[in-house]
Chain A
Amino acid sequence: MSLDSATADRITAVVLFALGLAMLVGGYTMDRLEIRQIHPASIPGLLPMILGATMMLCATLLFVGAARRARAEAIEPISNDGGESWGRMAATAGLSALYALVLVGWLPFFFATALYVGLFILIFTWPGSGTRAGKVKVVVIALVFALVTAAAISALFRYGFLVRLP
């Protein structure tokens, strides 16, 4: 799967065009502050309107360019064999988002961090078909790193930088 392709460009162009249009409309309908008798050339929506229109133009050019690119890709397809793993990326994204958006603020920072670091190490170093001793070793390493990292970072920010931790 590649995000750098003609199809991706076409979809992005549509999204960007919609974004540009929203900005243009948002700028146009924005309060012109007549009640404060400001200079008409200094309305707050002026630059958003210009940016919106420019983005729509760029999105159109991207869409047109994507058609040309699609023809080139039909002759020479994109190859992706660099060993990248979307599964690994999705697991990282999911776990990290869970930590940042849910655990932090819900659990005390120390516990949230220890849980995140421990799970991260376990998930990515777990020896699926390894021996029992190997699995115990991974669990111990994950546990030690999780506790040490959580304690060190919490102490650094709490006592070093006087931050009230979430």
Chain B
Amino acid sequence: MEGLAALGSAFAGLASFGTLFNVAWATLLGIFVGSLPGLTATMGVALLTTLTYTLDRDTAILVLICMYVGAIYGGSRSAILLNIPGTPASAATSLDGYPLAQQGRAGYAMALATSGSVLGTFVGIILLVLLAPLLARAALSFGSFEFFWLAVFGIVISGQLTAETSPLKGYIAGLLGLMVAMIGSEGIHAHVRFNFDIQDLNGGIGLIPAMVGAFGFAEVLTVMWRAKAKLVAKRKDEDRVLPRLSDLWRYKFTIGRSGVIGTMIGIIPGVGEDIGAWASYAAARRRSRERKMFGKGSTEGLTAAETGNSAVVPGALIPALTLAVPGSAPAAVLIAALFIHGIRPGPMIMVEMPDFIYSVAIMLTFAMLAIGVFGLTLTRLFILILRVPREILMPIVFTLCVIGPYALTQRLFDIWVMVAFGFLGFVLRQMKYPMAPLVLGIILGSLLDKNLRRGLMLSDGDLTPFFTRPISAVFVVLIVATIAMSIPSVRAFVSRLFGGAGDRS
């Protein structure tokens, strides 16, 4: 009841013509960014952050959330029409979306993707409102020992789940991020580390220039490196651009399940939308009666993937708001934006700003409604957007990558940081190192460092409390199990053990 009242007052505070205008342009921009291959949600949020610092707090967070929701949804457009996911979140969407487009049903595939995204976001918002206050309250009992292990767990699980080939590369990416975070003044004694006598490094590497480089410039390079994509031109006359309610009703369990899976994946630190989509897709395939159609143009598979990736967005905001630990790469940038606008995410958020979580839920609801309206009415426009030549778009994107980070601090040094991270991001991506753990490492470095040393000071150098306090012990078990499961022989042993148990029963 208290939550409903808070939601009502958040809605009353935000409902205005100005809000609707901001929701409209920011969501459209988000869909535009997401639908163009090479422009991702993280890049969109990072670039837009540099444009929001003159806006008031609520407007800034609103437009960033609309960009995030819009971009994750927009990725489905190019996944369906080009077989290239606009964002990594839509990789699972292309499995069934592109075959549907080849059958001349691109319009209907996009309509289903829109419905799935709207419903997935809706499920995520409900869970955000229910779970975030509980998690914030639980996090109040976290001390230095627990926060230390939370940061380690975030890096390990993110490295494990986001690595394409080997979890080791995920762990290395996380370590690189943590190493980057070691540069500059540390948070306990204000001692400057690894600045190599460069004054600009005293404050550390800025997250926004690093993210704009790793996700913006690196993607410009990747887009120009790749071959040009070809748009599917085939279209049947009976193709429709509105979803059939009967189809949505038929997939109600798939939608509900994918929404919950997506949100839960979102809560896991640094994992993100792509894993949410794959997990929802796999679960839908396992339980579907039309399993054989998956990968060949299954409408259920498409709905599951899109519901799953969109539900991750509210899910990723749950730990971001309550623990200051991002659930995805765009959420990491959003945390930086929250700090820029004077909001301190973390366990104290329910004490200092009890209404903020509900305001975020209302902002997500606005964004959700906007993707529904734009997605179902502007199908033709988004097809036109995909025809913008990359040779014209990419220099504009790079110009924004240059001026965006500069605008925040007015230092040329941040442009150099952006360029360096662009090259690093491109090379790491080519070598199949995931970017999410790197981002998470940069965000969590300070948390890890401060809580390790603070914990050791509290215990007078004794390591025992790190392992014996109940929540710490749970984290330790989870971390050990996660790392152990990344070793092929251990994984084979465990699957043999459980497979064997299954056989006996």
Distance in angstroms from B64 CB to nearest chain A CB is 15
Asked whether, in the complex, the Cβ of B399 is within 8 Å of the Cβ of A48, the reply is no
A50's closest neighbor in chain B, by CB? B452
Within 8 A of B (CB), among A11-41: 12, 16, 19, 23, 26, 30-31, 33, 36, 38-41
Tell me if B396 is interfacial: C-beta within 8 Å of chain A: yes
B50's closest neighbor in chain A, by CB? A161
Asked whether, in the complex, the Cβ of B419 is within 8 Å of the Cβ of A101, the reply is yes
Taking CB atoms, residues of chain B closer than 8 Å to A8 are 431
A54's closest neighbor in chain B, by CB? B175
A1's closest neighbor in chain B, by CB? B430
Taking CB atoms, residues of chain A closer than 8 Å to B431 are 3-4, 8-9, 12
Tell me if A116 is interfacial: C-beta within 8 Å of chain B: yes
Dominant SS among interface residues on chain B: helix
Tell me if A131 is interfacial: C-beta within 8 Å of chain B: no
Distance in angstroms from A2 CB to nearest chain B CB is 8
Taking CB atoms, residues of chain A closer than 8 Å to B51 are 161
Partner of A51, one of B166, B179, B225, B410: B179
Contacts known (A31-B191, A54-B175, A104-B412); A83 close to B226, Cβ less than 8 A: yes
Binary interface encoding of chain A residues 119-161 relative to chain B, with 1 for a CB under 8 A from any of its CBs, else 0: 0110011000000000000000000010001100100010001
Tell me if A42 is interfacial: C-beta within 8 Å of chain B: yes
Binary interface encoding of chain A residues 44-67 relative to chain B, with 1 for a CB under 8 A from any of its CBs, else 0: 111110010011001101100100
Contacts known (A3-B430, A26-B194, A153-B399); A125 close to B391, Cβ less than 8 A: yes
B164's closest neighbor in chain A, by CB? A4
Taking CB atoms, residues of chain B closer than 8 Å to A162 are 54
Interface size class of A (residues with CB under 8 A): 35 or more
Within 8 A of A (CB), among B211-234: 217, 220-221, 224-228
Binary interface encoding of chain B residues 393-433 relative to chain A, with 1 for a CB under 8 A from any of its CBs, else 0: 01110111011001100101001101100110001001110
Contacts known (A33-B189, A42-B456, A99-B402); A121 close to B407, Cβ less than 8 A: no
Asked whether, in the complex, the Cβ of A96 is within 8 Å of the Cβ of B398, the reply is yes
Tell me if B182 is interfacial: C-beta within 8 Å of chain A: yes
Partner of B461, one of A38, A41, A82: A41
Partner of B179, one of A23, A93, A161: A23
Tell me if A166 is interfacial: C-beta within 8 Å of chain B: yes
Taking CB atoms, residues of chain A closer than 8 Å to B369 are none
Asked whether, in the complex, the Cβ of B172 is within 8 Å of the Cβ of A48, the reply is no
Taking CB atoms, residues of chain B closer than 8 Å to A149 are 395-396, 399
Interface centre among B172, B228, B416 (most CB of A within 10 A): B172
Asked whether, in the complex, the Cβ of B419 is within 8 Å of the Cβ of A100, the reply is yes
Asked whether, in the complex, the Cβ of B395 is within 8 Å of the Cβ of A120, the reply is yes
A38's closest neighbor in chain B, by CB? B189
Asked whether, in the complex, the Cβ of B217 is within 8 Å of the Cβ of A85, the reply is no
Taking CB atoms, residues of chain A closer than 8 Å to B355 are none
Partner of A83, one of B175, B227, B410: B227
Contacts known (A100-B415, A163-B410); A47 close to B448, Cβ less than 8 A: yes
Partner of A120, one of B188, B394, B407, B418: B394
Tell me if A71 is interfacial: C-beta within 8 Å of chain B: no
Taking CB atoms, residues of chain B closer than 8 Å to A16 are 172
In whole angstroms, how far apart are the Cα atoms of A149 and B423 in the complex?
24
A58's closest neighbor in chain B, by CB? B172
Partner of A40, one of B422, B448, B449, B461: B461
Partner of B403, one of A23, A58, A117, A157: A157
Asked whether, in the complex, the Cβ of B186 is within 8 Å of the Cβ of A84, the reply is no
Taking CB atoms, residues of chain A closer than 8 Å to B398 are 96, 99-100, 116
Tell me if B153 is interfacial: C-beta within 8 Å of chain A: no
Asked whether, in the complex, the Cβ of A93 is within 8 Å of the Cβ of B427, the reply is no
Asked whether, in the complex, the Cβ of A153 is within 8 Å of the Cβ of B178, the reply is no
Asked whether, in the complex, the Cβ of B225 is within 8 Å of the Cβ of A88, the reply is yes
Distance in angstroms from B479 CB to nearest chain A CB is 13
Tell me if B453 is interfacial: C-beta within 8 Å of chain A: yes
Tell me if A107 is interfacial: C-beta within 8 Å of chain B: no
Contacts known (A30-B193, A51-B182, A62-B172); A3 close to B403, Cβ less than 8 A: no
Partner of B399, one of A2, A3, A93, A116: A116
B224's closest neighbor in chain A, by CB? A92
Asked whether, in the complex, the Cβ of A33 is within 8 Å of the Cβ of B395, the reply is no
Partner of A82, one of B172, B227, B422: B227
Within 8 A of B (CB), among A75-100: 82-86, 88-89, 91-93, 96-97, 99-100
Taking CB atoms, residues of chain B closer than 8 Å to A163 are 403, 406-407, 410
Asked whether, in the complex, the Cβ of B220 is within 8 Å of the Cβ of A85, the reply is no
B391's closest neighbor in chain A, by CB? A124
Asked whether, in the complex, the Cβ of A92 is within 8 Å of the Cβ of B394, the reply is yes
Tell me if B4 is interfacial: C-beta within 8 Å of chain A: no
Asked whether, in the complex, the Cβ of A101 is within 8 Å of the Cβ of B416, the reply is yes
Asked whether, in the complex, the Cβ of B456 is within 8 Å of the Cβ of A65, the reply is no
B418's closest neighbor in chain A, by CB? A100
Contacts known (A42-B188, A99-B402); A161 close to B432, Cβ less than 8 A: no
Binary interface encoding of chain B residues 226-246 relative to chain A, with 1 for a CB under 8 A from any of its CBs, else 0: 111000000000000000000
Binary interface encoding of chain B residues 50-70 relative to chain A, with 1 for a CB under 8 A from any of its CBs, else 0: 010110000000000000000
A164's closest neighbor in chain B, by CB? B410
Partner of B182, one of A41, A47, A88: A47
Tell me if A111 is interfacial: C-beta within 8 Å of chain B: no
10 closest pairs, A vs B, by CB?
A83-B227, A41-B456, A89-B225, A3-B430, A120-B395, A124-B391, A92-B224, A42-B453, A44-B191, A41-B461
**Residues of A participating in the B interface, judged by any CB pair closer than 8 Å:** 2-4, 8-9, 12, 16, 19, 23, 26, 30-31, 33, 36, 38-48, 51, 54-55, 58-59, 61-62, 65, 82-86, 88-89, 91-93, 96-97, 99-101, 104-105, 109, 113, 116-117, 120-121, 124-125, 145, 149-150, 153, 157, 161-166
Jot down 12 A-B pairs with beta carbons below 8 A, ordered by A. A4-B430, A39-B457, A47-B453, A48-B182, A84-B227, A92-B220, A96-B221, A100-B398, A100-B416, A104-B406, A104-B415, A117-B399
Given A44-B191, A157-B407, A162-B54, 5 other A-B contacts at CB below 8 A?
A55-B179, A89-B224, A100-B415, A116-B395, A120-B395
